[in-house]
Chain A
């Protein structure tokens, strides 16, 4: 057998002799690999995004919401008539061992005014544990404390978006804004969180003590009640226990008889988000699977062209055999032609795929992440495609009878 370097040289020469055909053959692999790389980039980007949002929402999260009520024959949606109270939230923390933290919330939209600027946003009345549960950080200033909650103090925390829109470059800490005409002191600005899974800007918010919300801002709507209670289970393994304990506790507190419809619901938010993350992952694998079909088709294209090429070059093979080429010499020559085509196609495909995912990320605004793993996979896979689909034509070439091959017209 002759040196591998010589075989590569021979293969490269004959690929160069048929530039157009070589390029078209490799095109199948280029498109296949580019599709796989781009789809992986989009898929990875999407699931990283969902994971980041999951983390920003908080972990092991449950939401207790007021149930639907019937009023004059009309069934209202969840939370239409608040049935939960601040006391329910305190009882949940005190009496459910599987619960880590809980915070009641009462929210609605408000107009916030500072000087000549005004901004419409969502005001959320709550208690300090909410910041921990939802992974909020304090960007500047401070949070409000429990005594401010007890006294329904007129203090507020601004989301980054609200702070930017009302204050621009000015420092909001200590300034007085008017929330639904009620003057409130800005004690802190929240750290930036970005958009959530639904594409909403989480920083477009205003946080005030729950009591302030109930008594001063949304007085007529809540009448001492809260719209939902945010609960963080003690850890990931106690989520189900927390759900059961809250259910039992609230049924007792609200005196729900067993045959009656409950006036509250406990939702496992973590589960919902994980389902979303899982479906993103499934989708991205599906995309990659579809893309790899085109890689397979590209491989079959290589085999097809190599088979044609072997037939067309039968006489060449005969000549090479007559002057002393052995079976492995011919086999490796044709095999390396196929592998060179698929690897060159693979490298071009990786570059093209990277460019496509960059463009998609840039123009469609989808997050795309090109992982080194996907590049390594695409490269390895295209080399394998070359070996797999090149082997059959190459072994056909190597098995030719030199006499027949020389006589071939």
Chain B
């Protein structure tokens, strides 16, 4: 069974009298262990798609099965539980809590999972070691470089053992050398830990790290292919 199963997903925004169709019927499935890039120009609906994939929002129509369960009709607190248990986020702007140590930032998802403090500390320290930041547990975000901050964010995405990482322009704020480092690290996670990664980017160089590229335009999937195979998928 696929990890992500979207069928006929539509999202319409109502702004007063005008309604805007951001997604006009998207169906796709992503298997566990895939590394997928979602590309598309701005206004294509890729952000809306990411919000729905990330359970930050629900579709107006259609069904979203995540790990076999329907999450398309859940309320906001039920969605919060799904995000907490199943999805790790990596954002362009890192989105770490300011004036808060790396360790406590990584602890955050476990706090809302209700894990005891000792276990949180231990697992957060392990996750930081895993992303190569052992010894920097007590640094605050402003004391870390951009690449290091993004590693803290990746540690935070990993720490609840979520099967899925959603990375929204994860290298958008990084120089090219650091970008490569981060992308190599994500690739490594995908290969060794089997974590499914869905990446949103508009940089073809970055999309190349993935093994499948989904192009979105005007709220529809216009192409879905595996670059290393060069073939097209329906």
Which A residues have a C-beta under 8 Å from some C-beta of B? 2-3, 6, 10, 13, 17, 315-316, 318-329, 402-403, 406
Contacts and interface: CB of A to CB of B under 8 A. Distances in A.
B84 interface: yes
A327 B76 contact: yes
Interface string B91-131: 10001111110000000110111100100000000000000
Contacts of A324: 80-81, 83-85, 109, 112-113, 160
A327 B56 contact: no
A402 B84 contact: no
A324 B96 CA distance: 14
B57 A323 contact: no
Given A17-B99, A329-B112, A403 B56 contact: yes
B64 interface: no
A321 B99 contact: no
A315 B96 CA distance: 9
Given A326-B81, A403-B51, A10 B111 contact: yes
23 contacts: A2-B112, A3-B114, A319-B96, A319-B97, A320-B108, A321-B80, A322-B54, A322-B89, A322-B95, A323-B83, A323-B84, A323-B112, A323-B156, A324-B85, A324-B112, A324-B160, A325-B80, A326-B81, A327-B76, A327-B80, A329-B112, A402-B56, A403-B56
B77 interface: yes
Chain B interface residue bracket vs A: 20 to 34
Contacts of A318: 95
Contacts of A403: 51, 56-57
Contacts of A327: 76-77, 80
A323 B55 CA distance: 11
A16 to B, nearest CB: 10
Nearest 4 Cβ contacts at the A-B interface: A324-B84, A324-B112, A323-B109, A326-B77
Interface string B33-51: 0000000000000000001
Contact of A406 (B91, B100, B112): B91
- Interface residues of A: mostly helix, strand, loop or mixed? helix
Among B97, B114, B117, B156: residue with most chain A CB under 10 A: B97
A322 B84 CA distance: 8
Given A323-B84, A324-B81, A326-B77, A2 B56 contact: no
A315 B80 contact: no
B81 A406 contact: no
Contacts of B89: 322-323
Contacts of B114: 2-3
A277 B82 CA distance: 67
B108 A319 contact: yes
A6 B95 contact: no
A299 B97 CA distance: 28
A303 to B, nearest CB: 23
Contacts of B113: 324
Interface in B43-80: 51, 54, 56-57, 76-77, 80
B115 to A, nearest CB: 9
